[in-house]
Amino acid sequence: MKKKVLSLILAGTMTLGLALTGCSGGSDGGGSSSDEGTPAAEEDAGSDEGSGEGGDKPYAGVTLKWWAGNAENNPGTQAVMEAATEKLGMEFEVEVNPGGSEGDNIIKTRMASGDLPDFMAYNSGSKLYDLNPSRGFMDISDWDIVDKFDDAFLSSVTIDGVVYGAPQSSTQAGAVIYYKPDYEELKLEVPHTWDEFVDNCKALADAGKTPVYFTGGETWATQVLFLGDYYNIAAANPTFADDYTEGKAKYADVPEATRSWTKYEDLVDYLNADKSAATVTDGNFAIATGEATHWFILTQQLPLILENVEDPDDIGVFGVPGDDADDHGLTVWEPMSWYVNKDTENVDAIKAFFEFYYSEEALDLYFGTYGANGPSCIKGYELPDSVCSAVRVDMQKYFDDGKTVPALEYQSPIKGTTCEQMTTAVGLGQMSGEEAAAMYDDDCKKSAVQLGYDWE
């Protein structure tokens, strides 16, 4: 499906923007200067000269084709593209990616056939490794915008010393999103250990509430408890990522790693009644309205949750608890990234657009319209007061305290292909966590062998 992102339905965009102001924010970024771009383009992208009614628009008549999922083709991105059209003249044509394995297969096929758009949004981390990006993506290592990105993000889009990606949005985390009024009503404290969390769940259940929401109808989301627990594995085993990649550490053999699977067993009695059929959309509504208290989910859902909440401060975030109350951290996902077709004929226009995209003006527009999923990966950026407290306070504290770690998929190229099926099965009580850990090791071994690693 293709559509022009030329003139937005402003009423709809403004309505959504107002609904999300509780989690809106901006990000301070810098522009790139193009070695190939014209001085006029650079001057126009960085100032008000030549913009607006009657001014010169250096890229008028250029249409940039891009490819993304619905999460990236959001009102914030659309608003920035409309502003870029107004300022620089280029127009945008988007093709929506169906997402998941289907979307992965499409982009791999199109990369192999040389049929890529001018630029696209795609995963950073292990998924990028799987794609073999040098086949189709441009090396942007010498673009000035790269200097604005923090090291954690850069490591997720750098392969063999080549930088391929630029952040499409903010960071996010695999964490617990929770409904604060339930905590206030029952006088519960944010748990800093897993045992404290389970105790809170018991208290909530005794009070007639649904302690944990589980979305078995959309299996990708069931992985978040397992994946978000990685901070606790890394805290106890600092070399786990390297050892795992080399096949020296396995989920069934490392106690903290096995625990990431058995935690599901502790929650079986505390889940929603429709746990096998519930979807992510159901989860957004359940947390917003207090139908359930906790949800292990990526914080990319925050803007959607806040569409249905009366008070944005009713929603909070905390990291998946481990066993050390003094070392409660957050597992962080780097944002989806923009990648440029290495064969595009519109390099200058893309550089000018990216220069604008990482300007304070455009980033404020993006986050003010759509919201923020987590702290920014732009170096030195401080979230404004307009960002919801779940991000600006709850998540930011983990970053400020140095209690974050990138998810394993940003430190290792190996990930099993059946993870979500197993996390769903354990969550529904259909297999034990220890069985799942052993099965996942076998699944990861297949991935490792395909990538050329010598796993035992």
Task: Please check whether residues 187 and 41 belong to one and the same domain.
Answer: no
Domain containing residue 19: 2-169+336-381
Mean pLDDT score, 16-40: 33
Residue with tokens 């617990």: 176
18-27, 99-108, 335-344: least confidently modelled range: 18-27
Task: Please check whether residues 213 and 360 belong to one and the same domain.
Answer: no
Is the confidence at residue 109, as pLDDT, over 60? Answer: yes
Is the confidence at residue 38, as pLDDT, over 50? Answer: no
Total domains in the chain come to: 2
pLDDT tens digits for 443-452?
999 989 988 9
How far apart are the C-alpha atoms of 414 and 448, rounded to whole Å?
6
Determine the pLDDT at residue 50: 38
Is 182 in a helix, a strand, or coil? Answer: helix
Determine the pLDDT at residue 55: 58
Q: Is residue 388 assigned to a domain?
A: no
Q: Amino acid identity of 205?
A: A
pLDDT, greater one: 7 or 232: 232
Task: Please check whether residues 10 and 79 belong to one and the same domain.
Answer: yes
Task: Please check whether residues 407 and 263 belong to one and the same domain.
Answer: yes
Q: Indicate left, alpha or beta for 313 from its phi (over 0: left) and psi (-120 to 50: alpha).
A: alpha
Percentage of the chain lying above the pLDDT 70 cut: 88
Mean pLDDT score, 74-100: 93
Determine the pLDDT at residue 339: 98
Q: Is residue 455 assigned to a domain?
A: no
Q: Residue 303's pLDDT band (boundaries 50, 70, 90)?
A: confident
Q: Residue 119's pLDDT band (boundaries 50, 70, 90)?
A: very high
Is the confidence at residue 379, as pLDDT, over 70? Answer: yes
Q: Is the dihedral of CA 9, 92, 125, 216 positive or negative?
A: positive
Mean pLDDT score, 114-139: 93
Determine the pLDDT at residue 153: 92
Task: Please check whether residues 7 and 144 belong to one and the same domain.
Answer: yes
Determine the pLDDT at residue 36: 33
Q: Is residue 389 assigned to a domain?
A: no
Is the confidence at residue 93, as pLDDT, over 60? Answer: yes
Q: Residue 246's pLDDT band (boundaries 50, 70, 90)?
A: very high
Mean pLDDT score, 260-265: 98
Is the confidence at residue 42, as pLDDT, over 80? Answer: no
What letter would DSSP give residue 308?
S
Task: Please check whether residues 200 and 184 belong to one and the same domain.
Answer: yes
Determine the pLDDT at residue 133: 95
Is the confidence at residue 54, as pLDDT, over 50? Answer: no
Task: Please check whether residues 198 and 148 belong to one and the same domain.
Answer: no
Determine the pLDDT at residue 79: 96
Beta strands in 205-305 (DSSP E): 212-213, 294-298
Task: Please check whether residues 115 and 178 belong to one and the same domain.
Answer: no
What letter would DSSP give residue 393?
I
Q: Is residue 390 assigned to a domain?
A: no
Task: Please check whether residues 430 and 312 belong to one and the same domain.
Answer: yes
Is the confidence at residue 18, as pLDDT, over 80? Answer: no
Task: Please check whether residues 235 and 325 belong to one and the same domain.
Answer: yes
CATH number at residue 377: 3.40.190.10
Mean pLDDT score, 133-152: 94
Confirm whether pTM is higher than 0.85: no
Q: Residue 363's pLDDT band (boundaries 50, 70, 90)?
A: confident
Q: Is residue 387 assigned to a domain?
A: no
Determine the pLDDT at residue 456: 74
pLDDT, greater one: 144 or 370: 144
Q: Residue 23's pLDDT band (boundaries 50, 70, 90)?
A: low
pLDDT, greater one: 60 or 37: 60
Task: Please check whether residues 11 and 32 belong to one and the same domain.
Answer: yes
Task: Please check whether residues 140 and 54 belong to one and the same domain.
Answer: yes
Determine the pLDDT at residue 383: 74
| Beta-carbon contacts of residue 149 (< 8 Å; ≥ 6 apart) | 166, 167, 377, 378, 379
Q: Indicate left, alpha or beta for 52 from its phi (over 0: left) and psi (-120 to 50: alpha).
A: left
Question: Minimal CA–CA distance to 168: which of 284, 296, 333, 316?
Answer: 333
pLDDT tens digits for 173-222?
999 999 999 999 999 999 999 999 999 999 999 999 999 999 999 999 99
Determine the pLDDT at residue 408: 95
Is the confidence at residue 124, as pLDDT, over 80? Answer: yes
